[in-house]
Amino acid sequence: MRLIDLSPELLQYHTEGFRTFHRHVDTLSEANGVRFLCPRWFKDNGGPVGTHSIICWDPSVPQIARPGPGRWSMVGTGLHDLSLVAGSSSVLLTDGCRWHGFVENGLVRDA
């Protein structure tokens, strides 16, 4: 499955005093996170309706930011070729649907 079919959005995390925000940005160089639809629910639901989102932050985002504790470096030039890279590189949701998989070169696959 291609990441771009999961309605991905690049996110920028920032803080103002004690308040934290994230906003949509257009380029990978501005982003320190990505949000995309859960590939498991997308398949089970036959599309985006009712499908929850997954957010992955890069290591520049403090550990107080949810979700955590996983952090991934965002490698590539954009959403079409994005890889999420970490020690094991896999993304594991530790609650909810417990999807476990990889984002590599713009493709999403189950672990």
Q: Applying CB under 5 A, does 97 fall inside the site for Zn ion?
A: yes
> DSSP states of 11-55 as a string?
EEEEEETTEEEEEEESSGGG-SEEEEE-HHHHHHHTSSTTPPEEE
Which of positions 26-55 make contact with Zn ion (CB under 5 A)? Answer: 38, 40-41
Could you say whether residue 56 binds Zn ion (CB under 5 A)? no
CB 85 within 8 A of CB 72: yes
DSSP 3-state assignment of 6? helix
Nearer to Zn ion among residue 40 and residue 71 (C-beta):
40
Smallest distance, Zn ion to C-beta of residue 51, A: 8
Shortest separation between residue 42's beta carbon and Zn ion, angstroms: 8
Strand-by-strand arrangement of the 100-104 sheet: 91-92, 100-104, 107-110
Q: Is 72 in the site for Zn ion (CB under 5 A)?
A: no
Of the two residues 72 and 99, which places its CB atom closer to Zn ion in the complex? 99
Q: Which is nearer to Zn ion, 2 or 43 (CB)?
A: 43
Handedness of CA 103, 40, 64, 30 (dihedral sign): positive
Between 14 and 43, CB nearer to Zn ion: 43
Which residues form the interface with Zn ion (CB under 5 A)? Answer: 38, 40-41, 97, 99
